[in-house]
Amino acid sequence: MDRRTFLGAGAAVVATGGVAAGQPKPAPTAFQVACMTLPYARFPLARALTGIRGAGYRYVAWGTTHQEDGGGKPAPVLAADAAPDKAKDLAARCRDLGLEPVMMFSGVYPEAKDGLDVLTRRLKQAGAAGVPQVLTFGHTKGGNHKLWVERFKALGPVAKDNNVLLVVKQHGGETGTGGACAAITKEVDHPNVKVNYDAGNVLDYLDKDPIPDIKLCAAEVRSFCVKDHRNWPRDEDCGPGFGEIDHYRLLHPVAFTGLTMPLACENISAPLVPRPDKPEGVDALARRAREFLEVVIAGLQTVK
């Protein structure tokens, strides 16, 4: 299935733990296990890309800034006002290393004063680069919900024209659950505006179990920001498998959709211990996260 076919597929099939009697089981989801450059933010982008590839990944997600050589202010992976050709060049740089970019941060809340303009530019950047998803998140309060819907309805055709999905993830408050985000995307009712699921944020911000929640929005989910979370012995986010979230149950509702679905590792850190001060330490955590997710996927998609 090519990317254009995938984007056009919409919500054709999403497994929810069962199949109607007499109906064939949908094809396995093509999960793309990716690492964000975000865990390497303390190091140059070039080192992040080589580290991610060296850790065995075939896919990468861009975000958000990196401390380049010489110190100073962190530099954005891709500036919001960068020409689409800059995004195309960065994508080519990734592909030359054997990494396919699958997602990029928008870097703006949808309700921001310049939110519509920045998201429009991001969708055009992604389209030029062949990056299939642009990620956004924020807080809806009162009239903001209406504004989100209006802006997403305006952005849907832009996303379609650029062969990109605009995905929104949970970020506390009124958009703290997948169910809340799905309510927004359903109201927008456009195949290029869907949900990204961040289980760690659901457990962290709302102290809610994400497993019942994802069942409410599975039909709208098109990607994941992968992070785990622990409430004990210390309240903190961590890499997948280090926390309290059951990733078998988390991915089960979307294990057989026939779609292509990025799983972008946003947090790969180990609980309680300090984060690595050398990039080689991040490499080791990145590899562990990939291997863990690959084991989970293999297990889920083997069970009939």
DSSP label at 293?
A: H
Cβ burial 212-229 (10 Å sphere, 16+ → b, else e):
ebbbebbbbbbbbbbbbb
Residue 97's identity, in one-letter code, is L
Reported confidence tier of residue 4, pLDDT bands at 50, 70, 90: low
Dmax (CA) of the chain: 63
* pLDDT surpasses 80 at 6: no
Q: Mean pLDDT check: name the lowest of 22-36, 156-170, 220-234.
A: 22-36
Q: Specify if 22 maps to a domain.
A: no
* pLDDT surpasses 90 at 10: no
The answer to whether 38 touches 275, Cβ cutoff 8 Å, is no
What are the CA-CA distances from residue 47 to residues 37, 51, 180, 218, 264 (Å)?
Answer: 9, 6, 37, 35, 18
* pLDDT surpasses 60 at 145: yes
Q: Specify if 271 maps to a domain.
A: yes
What are the CA-CA distances from residue 291 to residues 33, 103, 155, 271, 297 (Å)?
Answer: 9, 20, 36, 18, 10
Q: Mean pLDDT check: name the lowest of 57-71, 267-281, 284-298.
A: 57-71
> Higher confidence at residue 15 or residue 279?
279
Q: Specify if 231 maps to a domain.
A: yes
Percent residues over pLDDT 70 in the chain: 91
DSSP label at 276?
A: P
The answer to whether 112 touches 146, Cβ cutoff 8 Å, is no
- Specify the pLDDT at position 15: 41
The neighbour count for residue 113, using CB atoms within 10 Å, is 9
* Mean pLDDT, residues 156-181: 96
CA 171, chain centre distance (Å):
13
- Specify the pLDDT at position 18: 45
Q: Specify if 274 maps to a domain.
A: yes
- Specify the pLDDT at position 69: 79
- Specify the pLDDT at position 158: 98
pLDDT in tens, 57-110: 999 999 999 999 777 789 999 999 999 999 999 999 999 999 999 999 999 999
Determine the structural domain holding residue 252 and report its residue range. Answer: 27-302
The neighbour count for residue 181, using CB atoms within 10 Å, is 29
Reported confidence tier of residue 34, pLDDT bands at 50, 70, 90: very high
Reported confidence tier of residue 33, pLDDT bands at 50, 70, 90: very high
Burial of 204 (0-12, 13-18, 19+ CB in 10 A): buried
* pLDDT surpasses 50 at 11: no
Q: Specify if 76 maps to a domain.
A: yes
* pLDDT surpasses 70 at 5: no
On average, the pLDDT of the chain sits at 92
Domain of 79: which CATH number? 3.20.20.150
Q: Specify if 174 maps to a domain.
A: yes
- Model's pTM, two decimal places? 0.92
pLDDT in tens, 212-252: 999 999 999 999 999 999 999 999 999 999 999 999 999 99
* Mean pLDDT, residues 185-198: 98
Q: Specify if 2 maps to a domain.
A: no
* pLDDT surpasses 70 at 256: yes
The answer to whether 111 touches 152, Cβ cutoff 8 Å, is no
Looking at the structure of the chain, the number of domains it has is 1
DSSP label at 17?
A: S
Q: Specify if 14 maps to a domain.
A: no
